[in-house]
Amino acid sequence: MNLSFFDQFTSPSFLGIPLILISVLFPALMLPSPNNRWITNRLSTLQTWFLHLITKQLMIPLNKKSHKWALVLSSLMMFLLIINLLGLLPYTFTPTTQLSMNMALAFPLWLATLLTGLRNQPSISLGHLLPEGTPTPLIPALIMIETTSLLIRPLALGVRLTANLTAGHLLIQLISTAAITLLPIMPAISILTASILLLLTLLEVAVAMIQAYVFVLLLSLYLQENT
């Protein structure tokens, strides 16, 4: 069977049953659960420190009213981070390369921040559509432009995450295929290509972490505008 480079992004299935739900929920099972040795467990202590660091960084630009979102944003950050990193392992499937899943995460959360602003401070939220001091002839066009930029925010969130992870996975597969193909023909070039592959893999680890942080950070900024 001839496989294309894009077959790695196909949702896995077994006997016609989609397995994407398992690939989404399984990483959460890897996190240690609280027990009587919560404080003395080094792994749990490291996890608690990391969660505290993430929560602190996300809550710094937000006011106290927005701190009730801390659990949602921190959980989303850990969820995306674990899935993105596990997707770099061989023979694994990365759910966040699916635009449908990323949109399913981005749209409800963006809509929640928007509705929060319209409920708590409708005048200020609607005022973002028309900056102060705008000339009268430009008001209709500017309102349309700002409304369009507001509505495409969830699409930009989903597409950004999908495109960056998909591009990284494709580059890794292309370079690894080239390294294997060149090995019997030009071993020196193959070793050089494998070295580039190692550096690219390290880069993709950083990209996986950065993209998870950027996704949640932008959501927190949208929340900041509406609280």
**In terms of C-beta distances under 8 Å and separation of at least 24 residues, what long-range contacts does 151-157 make, across chains too?**
153/110, 153/218, 153/222, 154/103, 154/106, 154/107, 154/110, 154/111, 155/103, 155/106, 157/102, 157/106, 157/110, 157/215, 157/218, 157/219
Residue 161 lies inside a defined structural domain of this protein: yes
Q: What is the pLDDT of residue 173?
A: 86
Classify residue 164 as exposed, middle or buried by CB count within 10 Å of its CB (0-12, 13-18, 19+).
buried
Confidence grade of residue 137 (pLDDT, cut at 50, 70, 90):
confident
Instruction: Judge whether residue 108 has pLDDT over 90.
Output: yes
Q: What is the pLDDT of residue 214?
A: 92
Instruction: Judge whether residue 201 has pLDDT over 60.
Output: yes
Residue-wise pLDDT tens digits, 43-75: 777 777 888 888 888 888 777 877 888 888 888
Q: Which domain holds residue 205?
A: 19-226
Residue 2 lies inside a defined structural domain of this protein: no
pTM of the entire structure? 0.82
Residue 7 lies inside a defined structural domain of this protein: no
How many separate domains does the chain show? Answer: 1
Residue 120 lies inside a defined structural domain of this protein: yes
Residue 43 lies inside a defined structural domain of this protein: yes
Computed over every residue of the chain, the mean pLDDT equals 82
Q: What is the pLDDT of residue 39?
A: 58
Q: What is the pLDDT of residue 57?
A: 84
Confidence grade of residue 127 (pLDDT, cut at 50, 70, 90):
confident
